[in-house]
Amino acid sequence: MINVAVIGYGYWGPNLVRNFLSAGCHVKTVVDMNENRLFALKKAYPFIESSMDIDSTLADTQIDAVAIALPVTLHYPIVKKALLAGKHVVVEKPMTKSAATSRELIDIALREKKVLMCDHTFLYTGAVRKISQLIKDEQLGSIEYFDSVRINLGLFQSDINVIWDLAPHDISILNYIMEKSPTSIVATGLSHTGNDMEDIAYLTMLYDDNFIAHASVSWVSPVKIRKVLIGGTKNMVVYDDIEPTEKIKIYDSGYRIKSDEDQKKMRIDYRTGDIFIPKIDTTEALSGMVTDFMQAIDKGRKPVSDAELSLSVVTILEAAEKSIKNHGKEVKL
Amino acid sequence: MINVAVIGYGYWGPNLVRNFLSAGCHVKTVVDMNENRLFALKKAYPFIESSMDIDSTLADTQIDAVAIALPVTLHYPIVKKALLAGKHVVVEKPMTKSAATSRELIDIALREKKVLMCDHTFLYTGAVRKISQLIKDEQLGSIEYFDSVRINLGLFQSDINVIWDLAPHDISILNYIMEKSPTSIVATGLSHTGNDMEDIAYLTMLYDDNFIAHASVSWVSPVKIRKVLIGGTKNMVVYDDIEPTEKIKIYDSGYRIKSDEDQKKMRIDYRTGDIFIPKIDTTEALSGMVTDFMQAIDKGRKPVSDAELSLSVVTILEAAEKSIKNHGKEVKL
Amino acid sequence: MINVAVIGYGYWGPNLVRNFLSAGCHVKTVVDMNENRLFALKKAYPFIESSMDIDSTLADTQIDAVAIALPVTLHYPIVKKALLAGKHVVVEKPMTKSAATSRELIDIALREKKVLMCDHTFLYTGAVRKISQLIKDEQLGSIEYFDSVRINLGLFQSDINVIWDLAPHDISILNYIMEKSPTSIVATGLSHTGNDMEDIAYLTMLYDDNFIAHASVSWVSPVKIRKVLIGGTKNMVVYDDIEPTEKIKIYDSGYRIKSDEDQKKMRIDYRTGDIFIPKIDTTEALSGMVTDFMQAIDKGRKPVSDAELSLSVVTILEAAEKSIKNHGKEVKL
Amino acid sequence: MINVAVIGYGYWGPNLVRNFLSAGCHVKTVVDMNENRLFALKKAYPFIESSMDIDSTLADTQIDAVAIALPVTLHYPIVKKALLAGKHVVVEKPMTKSAATSRELIDIALREKKVLMCDHTFLYTGAVRKISQLIKDEQLGSIEYFDSVRINLGLFQSDINVIWDLAPHDISILNYIMEKSPTSIVATGLSHTGNDMEDIAYLTMLYDDNFIAHASVSWVSPVKIRKVLIGGTKNMVVYDDIEPTEKIKIYDSGYRIKSDEDQKKMRIDYRTGDIFIPKIDTTEALSGMVTDFMQAIDKGRKPVSDAELSLSVVTILEAAEKSIKNHGKEVKL
Q: Under 8 Å CB-to-CB from C254, ≥6 apart: which residues? A: C234, C273
Interface test with C, best of D156, D163, D204, D323 (most C CBs within 10 A): D204
Give pLDDT, residue C193: 84
Cβ atoms of C123 and C147 within 8 Å: the answer is: no
Choose among A19, A103, A12, A98: nearest CA to A287. Answer: A19
Apex B326 CA angle, A321 and B72, nearest 5? 125
Choose among C314, B222, D61: nearest CA to A253. Answer: B222
Distances (CA, A) of A41 to A113, C319, D270: 32, 65, 52
End-to-end Cα, chain C, rounded Å: 42
Distance from CA of A192 to the nearest CA of B (A): 6
Q: What confidence tens digit (pLDDT) does each residue in D300-323 have?
A: 999 999 999 999 999 999 999 999
Give pLDDT, residue B272: 62
Apex B201 CA angle, B196 and B203, nearest 5? 125
> With contacts defined as CB-CB under 8 Å, which chain C residues touch B246?
none
Interchain contact, B282 vs D265, CB within 8 Å: yes
Instruction: Give the number of other Cβ atoms within 10 Å of residue A281's Cβ.
Output: 13
What does the alpha-carbon distance between residue B228 and residue B237 come to, in Å, rounded to a whole number?
A: 8
Neighbour subunits, B (≥3 Cβ pairs < 8 A): A, C, D
Fold held by A3-121+285-305 = Rossmann fold (3.40.50)
Cβ atoms of D124 and D292 within 8 Å: the answer is: yes
- Long-range (24+ apart) CB contacts under 8 A made by B291-296 are B291/B23, B292/B117, B292/B124, B293/B65, B293/B88, B293/B90, B293/B115, B293/B117, B294/B2, B294/B23, B294/B25, B296/B88, B296/B115, B296/B117
CA D279 to chain centre: 23
Choose among A57, A35, A316, A21: nearest CA to A184. Answer: A316
Q: Under 8 Å CB-to-CB from A332, ≥6 apart: which residues? A: A183, A184
Neighbour subunits, D (≥3 Cβ pairs < 8 A): A, B, C
DSSP secondary structure of C5-59: EEE--SSSHHHHHHHHHHTT-EEEEEE-S-HHHHHHHHHH-TTSEEES-HHHHHH
Distances (CA, A) of D251 to B246, B277, D231: 12, 10, 9
Give pLDDT, residue C158: 76
Q: At what angle do helices D126-136 and D162-178 cross, to 10 degrees?
A: 40
Please tell us whether the domain made up of B123-282+315-332 is placed in CATH 3.30.360.10: yes
Distances (CA, A) of B7 to B25, B53, B117, B155, D51: 15, 10, 15, 21, 86
Residue of chain A with shortest Cα separation from D47: A46
Q: Which residues pair with B249 in a beta bridge?
A: B238
Q: Which residues pair with A186 in a beta bridge?
A: A204
Query: B222 CB near a chain C CB, below 8 Å?
Result: no
Per-residue confidence in pLDDT tens, chain A, 333 aa: 899 999 999 989 999 999 999 898 999 999 999 999 999 898 888 889 999 999 999 999 999 999 999 999 999 999 999 999 999 999 999 999 999 999 999 999 999 999 999 999 999 999 999 999 999 999 999 999 999 999 998 877 778 999 999 999 999 999 999 999 999 999 999 999 878 899 999 999 999 999 999 999 999 998 999 999 999 999 999 999 999 889 999 998 755 555 666 655 555 444 568 899 999 988 999 999 999 999 999 999 999 999 999 999 999 999 999 999 999 999 999
Interchain contact, D260 vs C155, CB within 8 Å: yes
Distance from CA of B209 to the nearest CA of A (A): 10
User: What is the reported pTM?
Assistant: 0.92
Fold held by B3-119+285-300 = Rossmann fold (3.40.50)
Interchain contact, C328 vs D186, CB within 8 Å: yes
CA A45 to chain centre: 28
- What is the average per-residue pLDDT within D115-143? 97
> With contacts defined as CB-CB under 8 Å, which chain D residues touch A47?
46
Determine which helix (DSSP H) or strand (DSSP E) holds B101, and give its type and residue range.
helix B99-112
Interchain contact, B327 vs A327, CB within 8 Å: no
Count B/C contacts: CB-CB distance under 8 Å: 5
Q: In what order do the strands lie in the sheet with D26-31?
A: D49-51, D26-31, D3-7, D65-68, D88-92, D116-119
Query: C277 CB near a chain A CB, below 8 Å?
Result: yes
Report the CATH superfamily, name and number, of domain D123-283+315-332.
Dihydrodipicolinate Reductase; domain 2 (3.30.360.10)
Give pLDDT, residue C114: 97
What does the alpha-carbon distance between residue B58 and residue A171 come to, in Å, rounded to a whole number?
A: 56
Interchain contact, C222 vs D253, CB within 8 Å: yes
Choose among C115, C236, A264, C290: nearest CA to B11. Answer: A264
Apex B172 CA angle, B167 and B178, nearest 5? 125
Interchain contact, D47 vs A46, CB within 8 Å: yes
Residue C260's pLDDT band (cuts 50, 70, 90)? low
- Long-range (24+ apart) CB contacts under 8 A made by B239-247 are B239/B127, B239/B128, B239/B131, B241/B125, B241/B127, B244/D269, B244/D270, B245/D269, B245/D270, B245/D271, B246/B277, B246/D275, B247/B126, B247/B127, B247/B280
Interface of C with B in 26-65 (CB under 8 A): 43, 46-47
Query: C1 CB near a chain D CB, below 8 Å?
Result: no
What does the alpha-carbon distance between residue B76 and residue B111 come to, in Å, rounded to a whole number?
A: 17
Neighbour subunits, C (≥3 Cβ pairs < 8 A): A, B, D
Interface test with C, best of A271, A272, A283, A284 (most C CBs within 10 A): A271
What does the alpha-carbon distance between residue C139 and residue C231 come to, in Å, rounded to a whole number?
A: 11
Residue D186, SS3 per DSSP: strand
Interface of C with D in 67-86 (CB under 8 A): none
Question: What are the backbone dihedrals phi and psi of residue C264, each rounded to the nearest 5 degrees, phi first?
Answer: -60, -45
- What is the average per-residue pLDDT within C97-120? 98
Among partner residues C200, C236, C270, which is closest to D145 by beta-carbon distance?
A: C200
Q: What confidence tens digit (pLDDT) does each residue in C306-316 have?
A: 999 999 999 99
Interchain contact, B274 vs D275, CB within 8 Å: no
What does the alpha-carbon distance between residue A2 and residue A26 come to, in Å, rounded to a whole number?
A: 6
What does the alpha-carbon distance between residue C296 and residue C309 come to, in Å, rounded to a whole number?
A: 15
Query: D245 CB near a chain B CB, below 8 Å?
Result: yes
Question: What are the backbone dihedrals phi and psi of residue C305, each rounded to the nearest 5 degrees, phi first?
Answer: -90, 70
What does the alpha-carbon distance between residue C147 and residue D152 come to, in Å, rounded to a whole number?
A: 13
Q: What confidence tens digit (pLDDT) does each residue in D225-254 have?
A: 999 999 999 999 999 999 988 999 999 875
> With contacts defined as CB-CB under 8 Å, which chain B residues touch D270?
244-245
Distance from CA of C110 to the nearest CA of D (A): 35
DSSP secondary structure of C243-256: -SS--EEEEE-S--
> With contacts defined as CB-CB under 8 Å, which chain D residues touch A46?
46-47
Give pLDDT, residue A264: 59
Class of residue A287 by CB neighbours under 10 A (exposed 0-12, middle 13-18, buried 19+): middle
Q: Where are the domains of chain A?
A: 3-121+285-305, 123-282+315-332
Helix residue spans in chain D (DSSP H): 13-22, 35-44, 54-59, 75-84, 99-112, 126-136, 162-178, 260-269, 285-299, 307-325
Cβ atoms of D320 and D185 within 8 Å: the answer is: yes
Interchain contact, C245 vs A271, CB within 8 Å: yes
- What is the average per-residue pLDDT within D120-133? 97
Distance from CA of C43 to the nearest CA of B (A): 9
DSSP state of B74: G
Q: Which positions of chain B have pLDDT values less than 70?
A: 254-272
Residue C155's pLDDT band (cuts 50, 70, 90)? confident
Interchain contact, A271 vs B216, CB within 8 Å: no
Query: B222 CB near a chain D CB, below 8 Å?
Result: no
DSSP state of C73: G
DSSP secondary structure of A255-268: ----SHHHHHHHHH
Q: What confidence tens digit (pLDDT) does each residue in C224-253 have?
A: 999 999 999 999 999 999 998 899 999 987
Among partner residues A223, A271, A330, which is closest to B327 by beta-carbon distance?
A: A330
Query: A222 CB near a chain D CB, below 8 Å?
Result: no
Cβ atoms of D248 and D237 within 8 Å: the answer is: yes
Residue of chain A with shortest Cα separation from C271: A245
What does the alpha-carbon distance between residue C104 and residue C95 come to, in Å, rounded to a whole number?
A: 11
Interchain contact, A47 vs D47, CB within 8 Å: no
Distance from CA of D228 to the nearest CA of C (A): 11
Neighbour subunits, A (≥3 Cβ pairs < 8 A): B, C, D
Q: Residue type for A103, please?
A: R
Cβ atoms of C152 and C297 within 8 Å: the answer is: no
What does the alpha-carbon distance between residue B215 and residue C249 come to, in Å, rounded to a whole number?
A: 32
Interchain contact, D274 vs B269, CB within 8 Å: no
Interface of A with B in 119-178 (CB under 8 A): 144-145, 147, 149, 151-156
What does the alpha-carbon distance between residue B105 and residue B295 come to, in Å, rounded to a whole number?
A: 20
Query: A273 CB near a chain C CB, below 8 Å?
Result: yes
Give pLDDT, residue D45: 85
What does the alpha-carbon distance between residue C19 and residue C28 come to, in Å, rounded to a whole number?
A: 14
Burial pattern C159-178, b for ≥16 Cβ within 10 A else e, equals ebbbbbbbbbbbbbbbbbbb
Distance from CA of C184 to the nearest CA of D (A): 9
Query: D206 CB near a chain C CB, below 8 Å?
Result: yes
What does the alpha-carbon distance between residue B2 and residue B28 come to, in Å, rounded to a whole number?
A: 10
Mean pLDDT in chain D?
Answer: 93
Residue D149, SS3 per DSSP: strand
Distance from CA of C158 to the nearest CA of D (A): 10
Please tell us whether the domain made up of D3-120+285-305 is placed in CATH 2.30.110.10: no
Give pLDDT, residue D264: 58
Cβ atoms of B305 and B169 within 8 Å: the answer is: no
- What is the average per-residue pLDDT within D151-174? 91
Structure ipTM over 0.90, yes or no: yes
What does the alpha-carbon distance between residue C197 and residue C199 come to, in Å, rounded to a whole number?
A: 6
Q: What confidence tens digit (pLDDT) does each residue in C70-88 have?
A: 999 999 999 999 999 999 9
- What is the average per-residue pLDDT within D55-77? 97
Distances (CA, A) of C295 to C61, C123, C300, D74: 21, 16, 7, 65
Cβ atoms of B106 and B89 within 8 Å: the answer is: no
Cβ atoms of D206 and D191 within 8 Å: the answer is: no
Selected from 3.30.500.10, 3.40.50.1980, 3.40.50.720, 3.40.50.2000, the CATH number assigned to the domain covering C3-120+285-304 reads: 3.40.50.720
Distance from CA of B54 to the nearest CA of C (A): 26
